[in-house]
């Protein structure tokens, strides 16, 4: 499902550029710069709030490259996503397991819980790199596991970088869809998601098997 979602984002962007007379990237950035320091702050807060409220992360990550360029956009998006993830983590920890399980489902929660309990920072990093579990779901699920907030925050920030860079590059290529560059970036994004689905599923399966044996 995550792979389908990523493909849908790419297709939607291509169709939008093809059929709608949209402003160029530099025009958009000039408009954003007109708001001064308020624009980056608003975007960072939007990423944080959107993350906590289950808004699709790929949309915001792609927008970061369009609005601010690749490097500034990635920095803002990763910071915002990490803050939002930590907020969700702390909210879940405050609500407790039963409340989170009612929202996410006991089976899904148990699988994520097993990985986090056994792997700590490494599990957080891997689950950020590999989109086998929806980003918002893993944030809330992590809150009722044994992982420490510091480990969760570090793993999240590091793990977000690769996929956010790819998405920002796609947003930066807003005017250039159909070029070899944009096609290569989109292909990397889809391949990363596909590999993530397979690898991440195996990680969850091994953790669940190990938990049953224990």
Per residue of the chain (214 residues), give pLDDT as tens: 444 554 555 555 555 544 455 566 677 788 888 888 899 999 999 999 999 998 888 888 988 998 998 999 999 999 999 999 999 999 999 988 888 888 777 776 776 776 666 666 777 777 777 655 678 888 888 888 878 888 889 989 988 998 898 888 888 876 666 667 667 777 777 776 676 667 666 666 665 555 555 5
Q: How many CB atoms lie within 10 A of CB 42?
A: 12
Q: Are 108 and 137 in contact, with CB atoms under 8 Å apart?
A: yes
**33 half-sphere exposure, CB direction, 13 A CA radius:** 10
Task: Report the predicted TM-score, pTM, of the whole model to 2 decimal places.
Answer: 0.77
pLDDT at 3: 45
CA distance 124 to 59: 22
Q: Residue 147 burial by CB count (10 A; 0-12/13-18/19+): exposed, middle or buried?
A: buried
Each residue's pLDDT tens digit, 63-108? 899 899 899 999 999 999 999 999 999 999 998 888 888 877 777 6
Domain hosting 191: range is 2-15+23-213
CA distance 119 to 40: 34
Q: Are 141 and 39 in contact, with CB atoms under 8 Å apart?
A: no
pLDDT at 130: 64
Domain count of the chain? 1
CA distance 112 to 114: 5
Structure tokens of 2? 């995550």
């Amino acid at each position: 499902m995550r792979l389908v979602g990523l493909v849908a984002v790419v297709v939607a962007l291509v169709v939008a550029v093809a059929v709608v007379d949209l402003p160029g990237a530099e025009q958009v950035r000039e408009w954003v710069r007109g708001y001064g320091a308020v624009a980056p702050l608003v975007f960072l807060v939007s990423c944080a709030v959107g993350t906590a409220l289950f808004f699709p992360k790929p949309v915001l990550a792609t927008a970061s490259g369009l609005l601010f360029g690749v490097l500034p956009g990635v920095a803002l998006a990763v910071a915002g996503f990490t803050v939002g993830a930590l907020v969700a983590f702390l909210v879940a920890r405050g609500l407790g397991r039963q409340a989170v399980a009612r929202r996410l489902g006991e089976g899904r929660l148990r699988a994520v819980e097993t990985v986090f309990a056994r792997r700590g920072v490494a599990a957080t990093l891997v689950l950020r790199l590999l989109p086998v579990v929806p980003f918002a779901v893993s944030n809330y699920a992590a809150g009722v596991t044994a992982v420490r907030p510091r480990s969760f925050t570090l793993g999240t920030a590091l793990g977000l970088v690769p996929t956010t860079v790819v998405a920002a590059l796609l947003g930066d290529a807003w005017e250039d869809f159909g070029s070899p560059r944009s096609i290569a970036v989109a292909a990397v994004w889809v391949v990363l998601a596909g590999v993530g689905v397979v690898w991440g599923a195996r990680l969850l399966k091994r953790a669940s098997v190990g938990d049953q044996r224990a």
